[in-house]
């Protein structure tokens, strides 16, 4: 899977601490990486996987 072309960003729900992930999204899906270990690369999710992940993650914030 090819890397996304968007800019990396942290979630607005991030506490600002060091235990964060960054994401970059486009119409095809998203890439996610560890903020502290950017040099280790990233995980790529297609559009359906990313939608499922964000749905499950947001359910924990309610």
pLDDT given for residue 23 in this prediction: 93
**pLDDT of res. 1:** 54
- Provide the pLDDT for residue 18: 72
Burial state string for 29-42 with b = 16 or more CB within 10 A and e = fewer than 16: bbbbbeeeeeeeeb
- Does residue 4 surpass a pLDDT of 80? no
Nearest to 38 by CA among 26, 53, 50, 22: 22
User: What 3 state SS string does 16-31 have?
Assistant: CCCCCEEEEEECCEEE
- Per-residue pLDDT of 8-46, as tens digits, reads 998 777 776 677 889 999 999 999 999 889 999 999 999
pTM of the shown model: 0.77
Residue 37 pLDDT: 92
């Amino acid at each position: 899977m090819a890397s996304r072309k968007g800019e990396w960003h942290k979630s607005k729900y991030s506490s600002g601490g060091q235990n964060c992930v960054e994401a970059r999204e486009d119409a095809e899906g998203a890439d996610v990486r560890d903020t502290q270990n950017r040099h280790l690369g990233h995980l790529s999710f297609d559009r359906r996987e990313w939608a499922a992940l964000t749905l499950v993650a947001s359910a924990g914030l309610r």
